[in-house]
Structure 1
Amino acid sequence: MVEIKTPEQIAKMREAGLVVAAIHEATRAAAVPGASTKDLDDVARKVLADHGAKSNFLGYGGFPATICTSVNDVVVHGIPDRETVLKDGDIISVDAGAIVDGWHGDAAFTVFVGTGHAPELHELSRVTEESMWAGIAAVRKGNRLVDISKAIEGYIRRQPRPASGKYGIIEDYGGHGIGSQMHMDPHLLNYVSKKRGKGPRLVTGFCIAIEPMVSLGTAKTHVLSDDWTVKTDDGTWSSHWEHSVALTEAGPLVLTAVDGGKAKLAELGVETAPDPLG
């Protein structure tokens, strides 16, 4: 069952989304050489407390932290700790969420630590982020879930190949419905699968977290002994970008973007919905 939201519920999700955006801003600034991933988690905890919001990551399935911090070849679900200290040249994906009055927000970004990164790493992050926006632009009334998957995969496949030979679209993880829970139906693949069919039709009140994960090599991953940390099988580095999006009568609203996605979607010729919070 896909949970369809009322305008009032979407407004609450927008509140949660703006808290997530604040976490992103603060952790991006804190992701410097010498900082531990636990330092970033502490920053996120403070933002949540300052906004009177709750974490939807802490305790989820036993997850022990407020955010996920995934460094270099870690794709998703990296656990913050004091031992993992960021170094010049690292990349890190930060995945964060928040709950406001029972409604959830969830988003992720990739950031470069220090300087001296290879051009292919910058391109990896750019391709992953832009594929996310291509998927967001496909959130239109009348489309189906597969149209989002098609837009994400299509964008990635059209890009010049990296020096490593290919981009790996991670297969075992993808986007998801979001609302009164963090993870809900439907599951969103970042590629087209004939086995999955077209998926549900997108209607007003449909909310989805769109999150491509792309590596510089394989699409295959494995989970470490902590039962959370996901790494690429071949050790290639990866990027992860995510936004939570609501489909309203006036079009898509990017709940976890400060401007609601207005500037970026305008570049793609898509008009966004008015911000319910003004």
Structure 2
Amino acid sequence: MIRLKNDKQIEGIRKSCKLLAGLFEELGDHIKPGISTWDIDRIAEEYIKKHKGTAAFKGYEGFPGSICASVNDTIIHGIPSKKEILKEGDIIGCDIGIVLDDYYSDRAYTFAVGEVNKDVKLLLERTEEALMRGISAAVAGGRIKDIGKAITSYIEPFGYGIVHSFCGHGVGLDVHEEPQIPNNYPSRGMNPRIKPGMVLALEPMINMGTADVEILEDDWTVKPLDGSLSAHFEHTIAIFKDKTEILTVL
């Protein structure tokens, strides 16, 4: 069931999203060569607690971290580790959720660590642009699959793999809600009408190579089958009758 949010609920979700946007600004100052993904996780957890929130992902179905820290060829759900030290030229996708006063926010951003090569920079820029194309297609009166269609039509000419095994989702009153939002088109499943009151987390995951993935033995870490680099960008958005608002920005 898709839960439509009222104005009070959207305002609560908005506050959670603003806190999350501030956290990403904070992390941008710390993500440099030499830092571990565990240290990034600690910085995020301390920031969330300081602002009276809770890390939405910690303990969710047993996940051990406060954030998902996905380096280079990890698509999503990377587990923070003291042994994983970032180096010049790496990329790291940070996927984070916050619960604030029982309202959930969700955002992901793939950071460049120092200087990255041209091809990697293009992957990041194009994946972020794919997210914005998806957001532009998420308007009242449209259909959920319009989002994946916008993402696919932009990304496909570059020859990248659009991850289809995982997708975006509803959010706001829980970590994951209906509807599921495929990033690829065409796709299987329901294609509900986009309505005012929907709060959605859009999150294209784009691989430099194949779209096919594998889940490692830790039951969390997701990687492309060919070991190619992967980028992940996400925003939480709210649908209104006359506009779509990106909530996870300052």
TM-score, length-scaled by structure 2:
0.97
Q: Output one character per residue of 1:104-132: Cα deviation in whole Å (capped at 9) or x when no partner.
A: 000000111112x2211011011110010
Could you tell me how far apart the structure 1 residues matched to 2:113 and 2:62 are? 29
Contact conserved, 1:19 with 1:47, CA < 8 A, in 2? no
Read off the aligned partner of 2:180 and give its amino acid letter.
H
Q: Which residue of 2 aligns with 1:216?
A: 208
In 2: Cα distance, 1:41 partner to 1:250 partner = 38
The corresponding residue for 1:184 is 177
Question: 2:22 & 2:92 partners in 1: Cα distance?
Answer: 17
Q: Which residue of 2 aligns with 1:137?
A: 136
Q: Counterpart of 1:75 in 2: which secondary structure? A: coil
- What is residue 73 of structure 1 aligned with on the other side? 73
Which residue matches 2:217?
Answer: 225
Report the 3-state secondary structure (helix = DSSP H, G, I; strand = E; otherwise coil) of the residue aligned with 1:126. Answer: helix
Aligned position for 2:23: 23
For residues 249 and 153 of structure 2, the distance between their equivalents in structure 1, rounded to whole angstroms, comes to 23
Give yes or no for the alignment of 1:85 onto 2:78: no
**CA distance in 2 between partners of 1:176 and 1:3 (Å):** 12
Q: Residues 142 and 193 of structure 2 are in contact (CA less than 8 Å); yes or no, is this contact kept in structure 1?
A: yes
Distance 1:243 1:222 in 2: 25
**Displacement, 1:25?**
1.2
Task: Answer yes or no: is the 8 Å Cα contact 2:169–2:179 preserved in 1.
Answer: yes
**Contact preservation (8 Å) 1:22, 1:47:** no
Q: Which runs of 5+ in 2 are unaligned?
A: none
Asked whether 1:207 is paired with 2:194, we answer no
Written as runs of structure 1 = structure 2, the 5 A alignment for 1:1-278 is: 1-115=1-115, 117-158=116-157, 161=158, 166-196=159-189, 199-258=191-250
- Checking the alignment, whether the CA contact within 8 Å between 1:53 and 1:100 is kept in structure 2 is yes
* Alignment size in residue pairs: 250
Change (3 A) 1:194 1:114: closer
- Any conservation in 2 of the 1:169–1:191 contact (CA below 8 Å)? yes
Q: Sequence identity of aligned pairs in percent?
A: 39
Q: Tell me, in whole angstroms, the C-alpha distance in 1 between the residues paired with 2:7 and 2:242.
A: 11
Q: Secondary structure at the match of 1:222?
A: strand
